[in-house]
Structures are given as C-alpha cells and as structure tokens.
Amino acid sequence: MKFSGLMSDLARSIGLVSLSVFSAMAAEPLALSAEDKLAAIRQGLLEAALEGPTQVQATQWIDDKGALRESSSYRNGIQVRGVRVLGYTQDATGKPNATLQWQSVPSRAISNTPVAARVNACSPAAPGRLQHVMSLDWGEGGAWRTDDQPLLLSLRKLLAAELQQASISSSVWRLSQSPASPASRSTYEQALLGGADEDIPWQLRIGLQPLPVLTQDRAFGTRTQAPQPMKIAMTTTLGAHGLGKALRQVSFTLDLETNATSNWQPAQWTQTSSDLISRQAQEWARQMETELSCQPVVAKVTQANGNQIRINAGASAGLRVGDEWLLADGKQVLERTLESSLAPHTVLAKVMVVAEHHAQLVTVAGANQAVRHNWIGWTTEGTR
C-alpha cells in the first residue's frame, strides 16, 4: 500500500514536471532570424489587406500599333494608422507567421465623421513603453498692446505649466521642451541634423488673439481695485508631419479679468481668471489624451544613407537600443499592398544609437538601399 502510494505520488510529480517543461517550451518565443520575421510581417500585411474592401480600377486603350492595352490598379478602402506585431508563430510546414493588429479606419469615416465620433469609435491601444512626443508652438495674432505683454507672458506661462504637468503624468504623450523653430541651430547643424521641425513628430500650436472690449477709461495716475474685463480668442491645433490636415483643432473665447493697482504697475490676472486658464489647459490635455490614445506611435525617416537610417523618435518617446522597427514606403504599403510586391517597400531595422528626439538604425532584413526619406516606421513589439 505504501509502495503503491509512493509510486502514485512519484507519477504525479513527474507529470507536473513534464507539464511545467512543456509549458515553458510553449511560452518560449520562436528563435526566428530577421529575414524570417520580415517575411512573416509581409505575409501578415498581405493577408490583412485581403480582408479589407478593395477598389479595382481598370483602364483600356489602343496603342499606336492598334493593339488593345489594359491596366488595372488595386487600392484598399482603408486608411492605416499603424501596424503592431503581437507575436510570431509557425505553421505545420515550419513557415513563420506574424500575428498583426492592423490599426485602420475606413477613409469615408475620416472625411465625413466628426472628430468626437471617431474618438468614441476607436479602440485605444494598451499602454506601452512608447509615447507620442509633441512640441509647443505659439501664435499671437491681433494687436497686442505693449501694456498687455506681461499679461500675454503670464497667460503662456500658465498654459504651458498645466500642459507640462499633464504630460508628466500621462502614459500616452510627452511635451518636449525643445524649440520648434530652427532659429536656434546654425546652418551647419541644420544641414547635418535636419530641420528642427522634423525632430518632433507632433506639434501643438496655440494661437492667442485679444478681442475688443468696451471699458471705462480711467484718469491718468488714478488707482482702482475694480477688475477690468478682457476677451481672448484661443485656437489649439494638434497636427503631425505627413498627416495632412490637423488631427484636431478647437477655437473658443475666454472672458477674463485683470487687476491693476495703478497705472504704474503691470496688470495681472485675477485669481478667478488664472483658475479658468488652468482649467482650460487641463481640458485640452484630457482631449489630447483621448485622441492620441487611438494613434500608434509612428516615426518618420528623416535621413537615409544606405544602411544608416535616422528616425524622428528617440529616448523621449521611449526608444531603446536593440528595438526592432518595421520601415515602409507609406504610399506603397498603405494604399497599394495588393498591387505590388512588398519586398522593395519594407525593411526590418534595429535601433543602434538613441538620442533625445531621434535614433540611428541599421537594416537587419531587406534591401539596404531601399529606405528613403519620409518613409514611416512602426515598432514590431507587441506594445505601443
């Protein structure tokens, strides 16, 4: 009895060990070469394109020899936001396959659906290591008086502080402190590093314009404690290079008040107005969080010289040395996947050097000379 019980316990232990070993083997990622990974991604892109609506355009003509000629083009009826590689598998023959998440939205929905509806309809990606990075640019329109300059500077400071605080606590986006204007770079630096506008993928531009308000004139040198009204038209525009029109644009008017103890001291915002400005900036941050959570982190190739490639995403976006990125000719891959081979329009590259706002990559699979300026890139990791 005791012997049989011992054998039963031993059998169960061996079974548990075998199961653990099998589970560990199953969980172990496939050891695929870079070429195998790229081939699997290309096949996944093709299969994803076949699942979407396709527009076929056929043209016929008679050439100068009287022969009938025909040409056909195939275009997907979808606009791709990005591609995420969730993992790799192998079929029964050992051929590698890539499990992709094709983030797209029908093109008609983009042109005819309001932004708010698109945000509600999107499926935000799970939080990951990579984040969107944006610069903050200012535009002052209208006739700002010299006496209003302290108010303008205070307004900008309040808005920037709130946005920076929201950026720090966000898992989706980061606000860069680098200047958006190339004026801070020498001609040599611009030629060597590229334009500053290419370093930051997203740009947030805030326009501020004073509006006329009827007020009571005060006698010169008199003191008053009565708040003075002031109207400011504000416009926020969030856009990215290569995106076409802005991702979002909002315009409105703020009714504010200023306090001035005398004509000899600069005016200041009342506490109520300062609070209103802060709340408005916080609302902008919430809206951007919602909008950008539906967008994958996408980089653009800013320089390509053979096997040496530079993209406009770096440490501030969460990149690390060793990360693998899929680089693609956007127009060919996104619009004409079914029309031409993906081989000359996609490569797999690895991050070798990371700076704050850019990274240097080398191709590890695909044609070394294929990559061109303005190609786009997506991380092949399973997280955003």
Check for a shared fold between 34-121+297-379 and 132-292.
no
As assigned by CATH, the class of the 34-121+297-379 domain is mainly beta
The DSSP-derived string for 90-125 is E-TT--EEEEEEEEEEEHHHHHHS-HHHHHHHS-PP
Query: Rounded distance, CA 209 to CA 139, Å?
Result: 8
What pLDDT, on the 0 to 100 scale, is given for residue 27? 44
Which residue has tokens 């012997």?
Answer: 3
Spatial CA neighbour of 364 closest among 347, 343, 341 = 347
Domain limits of the chain? 34-121+297-379, 132-292
Q: Are 170 and 163 in contact (CB under 8 A)?
A: no
**Helical (H) or strand (E) element with 235:** strand 228-240
The domain 132-292 having CATH identifier 2.60.40: the answer here is no
Backbone angles phi, psi at 290, to 5 degrees: -65, -45
Burial 139-168 (b: 16+ CB within 10 A, else e): eeeeeeeeebeebbebbeebbbebbeebbe
Query: Rounded distance, CA 335 to CA 366, Å?
Result: 20
What pLDDT, on the 0 to 100 scale, is given for residue 9? 54
Tens digit of pLDDT at every position of the chain (384 positions): 444 554 455 445 544 444 443 333 344 456 788 888 888 888 877 776 666 655 556 677 777 777 777 765 555 555 556 677 778 888 888 788 888 776 654 443 333 333 333 334 465 555 678 999 999 999 887 778 888 888 999 999 999 999 999 999 999 999 986 544 444 445 544 444 444 456 788 999 999 999 887 665 555 555 455 678 889 999 999 988 655 678 888 898 999 998 865 667 778 899 999 999 999 999 999 999 988 888 888 899 999 987 789 999 999 999 999 999 999 887 666 666 666 667 778 889 999 999 999 999 999 988 878 888 888 888 887 545
